Amino acid sequence: MKRDLISMDDLTLEDIKEFLQLAATVEELPAGEKMTKLVGKILMVMFFEPSTRTRLSFESAMCRLGGSVIGFNHQMATSVAKGESFIDTIHTVENYADIMVIRHPREGTGRLASETSRIPVINAGDGTNQHPSQTLLDLYTIQKFFGGIEGLKIAFVGDLKYSRTVHSLIRALMKFKDQDFLLVSPDTLRLPEYLKRAEKQDTVRFHETASLKEAVSWGDLIYMTRIQKERFPDLVEYEKVKDSYCIDEKMLEHAPECLRVLHPLPRVNEISYSVDRTTYAGYFEQVGNGLIMRQAILLQLLGVAI
Ligand code: CP
C-alpha cells in the first residue's frame, strides 16, 4: 500500500516515534552512504504558494540521497493557468515521478491529492490546516533540546487561528503524555476549539493568556509564529494585530536557562535579531533539522531502508 504524509491525525504515536528514530539514524549516517539510497527516484515538487525552507529542504534532501527533482513553484507556470483542474494535474504528474510534495492555499488539497495519486503524496501545507513535515522536524528539534517530548510546558504565541504549523504540532503533541500548553494570542487569533479535543483529555492541559511576558517565565519552550497577512480576509483586522508580540533579548533577561525559542520561519518582526545571539534561539537549528527529517520522510514513504 502506498504511504502518504497528509495530516498528523493520520499518524499513531508509534508512527511518529519511527520517524524520529529514522531521522536520528539519517543524521548519523556519513554523507557518502546516503548518496546511493534514492538513486533513480524522482521527487515532484508542486508549490502553489511561496516557500523557502520546505521546498528547498525537500529538494536538497532528495539530492543528498542521490535522487532527482522536477516540479514548479508557481501555478502560473503550469497548465493550471489555462484552466486545468487540480485532479487532472495530479493524474498527469504522477506519471513523471515516484513521490510528490504539494503546498496549496486551500485546506484539503493534500488529502485530495493523496486520494487521486498512485504515488506517495506529502502535504507541505494546505491553507490553515496542516503542515506535517514541519511538525515532524519540530518534534525532532524538541526531542534533541529536551531529551524527550513528554512532560513539557510549551507556549504557542501569535497567530493560533490560521497557523497550520501550530495546528499540526498541537495535534501531534497531544499524542504524547502529560502536556501543558499556554496559548498566547490576540482575541481574534485564538486557537480553534476543535483542535483542543483529544482522545485522552486528562493528559493535556490548555492555559491561556494575552501576555508574552508571562510566557517567557512560564515554561520550557516558546513556539513563536508570524501574524500571517495573507490569511486575513480583512486587512483592517490584520493591521490591528500585526505587531501584537515581539520577543527581544531584554525580555529574555530573566528567562529560565533551559528555555528555547522556536519558530517555523519566516519571521517578520516577532523575534528581534538580538535574540539570535542568545542561547535561547533554537530556530536555525530547527531549519537544519528540517533537512534531516525530510530525508527521513522521503526514505520512509518510498520504503527504502537504511
Ligand atoms: N516553515 C515553512 O513552511 O517555511 P517556508 O514557508 O519557507 O517553506
CATH number for position 242: 3.40.50.1370
In a domain, 3, yes or no: no
Residue-level pLDDT at 200 = 64
Shared domain check, 46 and 80? yes
Tell me if 112 is assigned to some domain.
Answer: yes
Tell whether ligand 1 has an atom less than 6 A from the beta carbon of residue 54: yes
83's CB contacts (< 8 A; 6+ apart) are none
Q: What pLDDT does 76 receive?
A: 86
For residues 59-87, give the mean pLDDT.
95
Please say if the pLDDT value at position 296 is more than 70.
yes
pLDDT at 201 over 80: no
CB 102 within 8 A of CB 110: yes
Total count of domains within the chain:
2
Write down the residue that cell numbers 537504511 correspond to: 306
Please report the DSSP string for 77-105 in residue order. Answer: GSGGGGT--HHHHHHHHTTT-SEEEEEES
Q: Are 241 and 126 contained in the same domain?
A: no
- Considering the domain architecture, whether residues 156 and 186 belong to the same structural domain is answered as yes
- Are 77 and 93 contained in the same domain? yes
| 306 in a structural domain | no
The span from the CA of 169 to the CA of 163, in Å, is: 10
- The distance from CA 18 to its chain's CA centroid, rounded to whole angstroms, is 17
Ligand 1 atom index nearest CA of 103: 8
pLDDT-derived band at 234 (thresholds 50, 70, 90) equals: very high
> For the sheet containing 121-126, what is the strand order?
68-72, 42-47, 99-104, 121-126
Lowest mean pLDDT among 48-52, 77-81, 104-108, 267-271: 77-81
Q: Is the pLDDT score of 306 beyond 90? A: no
Q: What is the pTM of this model?
A: 0.96
Atom of ligand 1 nearest to the CA of 125: 3
Average pLDDT over residues 210-227: 95
Query: Is residue 33 domain-shared with residue 114, that is, in the same domain?
Result: yes
d(CA 190, CA 193): 9
* Preceding peptide of 186 cis, ω within 30°: no
With CA atoms as reference, report the closest residue to 58 among 305, 296, 303, 302: 296
2, part of any domain: no
Domain limits at 189?
Answer: 132-283
Mean pLDDT, range 98-125, rounded to an integer: 98
Residue 124: CB within 6 Å of ligand 1? Answer: no
Residue 32 included in any domain: yes
Q: Are residues 19 and 59 in the same domain?
A: yes
Looking at the structure, do residues 99 and 228 belong to the same domain, yes or no?
no
Residue 187 lies in a domain: yes
Is the confidence at residue 198, as pLDDT, over 80?
Answer: no
Cite the DSSP H helix spans in the chain. 13-28, 31-34, 53-64, 86-93, 109-116, 132-146, 164-173, 212-218, 235-241, 283-302
Whose Cα sits closest to atom 3 in ligand 1?
Answer: 54
**Mean pLDDT, rounded, for 88-99:** 98
Q: Identify the three-state secondary structure at position 269.
A: coil
Decide if 94 is inside a domain: yes
Task: Name the closest-CA residue to atom 4, ligand 1.
Answer: 53
My answer on whether 148 and 265 are in the same domain is yes
241 contacts: CB under 8 Å, gap ≥ 6: 186, 188, 189, 227
Cβ burial, residue 192 (10 Å; 0-12/13-18/19+): exposed
pLDDT at 199 over 80: no
Are 48 and 167 within one domain?
no
The mean per-residue pLDDT over the stretch 9-35 comes to: 96
Mean pLDDT within 49-61: 98
Q: Give me ligand 1 centre to Cα 104, in Å.
A: 12
pLDDT in tens, 176-190: 989 999 999 999 999
User: Which of 138, 171, 164, 169 has its CA nearest to residue 285?
Assistant: 138
Mean pLDDT value of segment 232-261: 94
Chain-centre distance for alpha carbon 117? 22
Res. 202: pLDDT tops 80: no
Q: In Å, how far are 83, 121, 139 from 96, measured between CA atoms?
A: 21, 13, 32
Task: Check: CB of residue 101 under 8 Å from CB of residue 58.
Answer: yes
Looking at the structure, tell me whether residues 201 and 153 fall in a common domain.
Answer: yes
Residue 247: per-residue pLDDT: 97
CA 286 to centroid of ligand 1, rounded, Å: 12
Residue 173 lies in a domain: yes
Q: Which of 47, 49, 130, 134 to mutate to test the pocket of ligand 1 (most atoms within 8 A of CB)?
A: 134
Q: Which residues pair with residue 126 across a beta bridge?
A: 104
32's CB contacts (< 8 A; 6+ apart) are none
Residue 52 Cβ < 6 Å to ligand 1: yes
Judge if 258 and 156 occupy the same domain: yes
* Rounded distance from Cα 265 to ligand 1 centre (Å): 6
| Residue 249 sits in the same domain as residue 185 | yes
Report the chain's mean pLDDT, rounded to a whole number: 96
